[in-house]
């Protein structure tokens, strides 16, 4: 298999790939509960898997995934702010399990991504495509215009222009994400953890029934998204 991960490359391999196509892919994925049937690292498994495929087809280098992301905050009746998913009595479809959420403030996440972009630019890349974990996707997309000016890089992501066509990580632990993880890492999926009774909806799942998932459907979703990334790279002129 062709090596495309930054961390796997020997220096001469890195130089060759960078010279051929100076595109960096940045997988955004926290550690987060995705139902009882999917691994905690599902977000990064999907985003990195997609980007490895893109790099092999279009060139470029896949950066190490960021296993940390911004997330939401909730407030209890007493006014206490609960950050991320660090609570057990919420009505939110996510459920906190030990070690299942790596959360950071938007500000910290922004500083982290800025530092990575600075190094990416210094290394000689000209374009960065980033995507993955939902709140991370939002944060990346919102900051793109300002970062383009500040870093002088071509930046791309799942913006409004492509969002309607995009098919990767479009639900939470439901048919789409379950199918994608099945495609990339079938060995990590345990559908048997879901109730066979279709009237019992799996906790923490948002979207179509994950019991209808398949690796083949995951491959179809991946192919559609890979096609979009290829188009973005082509339009960039990099």
pLDDT per residue as tens digits for the range 135-192: 999 999 999 999 999 999 999 999 999 999 999 999 999 999 999 999 999 999 999 9
pTM: 0.90
> Is the Cβ–Cβ distance between 70 and 135 less than 8 Å?
yes
Least confident of 96-100, 102-106, 165-169: 96-100
Q: How confident is the model at residue 89 (pLDDT cuts 50, 70, 90)?
A: very low
User: How far is residue 31's CA from residue 145's CA, in Å, rounded to a whole number?
Assistant: 27
Residue 75 has pLDDT above 50, yes or no: no
CA 98 to chain centre: 21
**For residue 101, what pLDDT is reported?**
66
Output 197-201 pairs: Cβ under 8 A, ≥24 positions apart: none
């Amino acid at each position: 298999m062709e090596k495309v991960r930054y961390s796997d490359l020997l220096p001469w391999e890195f130089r060759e790939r960078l010279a051929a196509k100076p595109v960096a892919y940045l997988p955004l994925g926290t550690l987060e509960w995705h139902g009882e049937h999917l691994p905690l690292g599902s977000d990064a498994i999907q985003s990195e898997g997609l980007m490895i495929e893109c790099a092999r087809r279009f060139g470029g280098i896949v950066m190490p995934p960021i296993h940390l992301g911004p997330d939401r905050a909730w407030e209890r009746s007493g006014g206490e702010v609960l950050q991320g998913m660090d609570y057990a009595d919420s009505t939110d479809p996510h459920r906190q399990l030990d070690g299942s959420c790596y959360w950071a403030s938007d500000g910290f996440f922004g500083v982290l991504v800025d530092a990575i972009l600075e190094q990416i630019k210094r290394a000689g890349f000209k374009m960065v495509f980033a995507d993955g974990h939902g709140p991370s996707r939002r944060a990346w997309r919102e900051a793109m215009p300002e970062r383009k000016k500040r870093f002088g890089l071509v930046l791309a992501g799942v913006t409004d222009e492509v969002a309607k066509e995009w098919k990767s990580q479009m639900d939470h632990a439901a048919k789409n994400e379950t199918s994608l993880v099945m495609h990339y890492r079938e060995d990590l999926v345990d559908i048997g953890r879901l109730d066979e009774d279709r009237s019992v909806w799996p906790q923490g799942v948002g979207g179509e029934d994950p019991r209808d998932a398949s690796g083949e459907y995951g491959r179809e979703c991946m192919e559609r998204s890979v096609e979009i990334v290829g188009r973005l790279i082509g339009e960039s002129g990099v």
